[in-house]
Structure 1
């Protein structure tokens, strides 16, 4: 049996500002942006460069309860883990693009890691795993 996580829904305030952040600042690829008129929503999928399986579905909040989760989908814990093959390349590029790191780089037993915020305040680990 082979399984994988294909998409993770990330609740966002606005499609275009989310695309601007994930594609413009993090360098993700815009995989799909399709308008669904019968639901008055867009199907927006982004993925890190080189990612073959995991993608983010940018899901615009449609009510107050969903909007209350924007930026805090996990109660303040790190939410997503972005693996890289070159930590320092990405760390310096992200800092140059204005990405806010809330925990500076650290060598851990599993690899090099730093924590950054997305445009809404969700916490991400940038990780270069040890081989």
Structure 2
């Protein structure tokens, strides 16, 4: 059986991303290992500390930077995170100064919103209704 162990989000600055994803979004550090000039820096949900890890992937590869920029400019989220109560999470994050490019709205059986992670990505938040 295959399962997801690590997924990644590309970031322009690992330390800035670490601050945003922990202080604003609430993830916690799982792994932080120096790898040359970068780090193998992963985060997990505090409720699923043995679950899927989110790698803050440094943008050291030019085609990856171009792809990230194209997605951002098109308003397309890099990835999506699930939340239990989107309206509550939206208000919490707005109070912390997080910028949203799309406020919560119902789309089929979900409610979604899209935020700017300050590191080059749009990130979607979703709640199953």
Distance in 2 (alpha carbons) for counterparts of 1:102 and 1:60: 23
Distance in 2 (alpha carbons) for counterparts of 1:65 and 1:4: 27
5+ residue gaps, structure 2: none
TM-score by length of 1: 0.80
Query: What displacement does 1:61 show?
Result: 2.3
Report what 2:116 is aligned to. 117
Distance in 2 (alpha carbons) for counterparts of 1:23 and 1:93: 14
Report what 2:55 is aligned to. 57
What is the number of equivalent residue pairs in this alignment? 127
Root mean square deviation, CA, Å: 2.3
Distance in 1 (alpha carbons) for counterparts of 2:21 and 2:58: 14
5+ residue gaps, structure 1: none
TM-score by length of 2: 0.81
Distance in 2 (alpha carbons) for counterparts of 1:96 and 1:7: 30
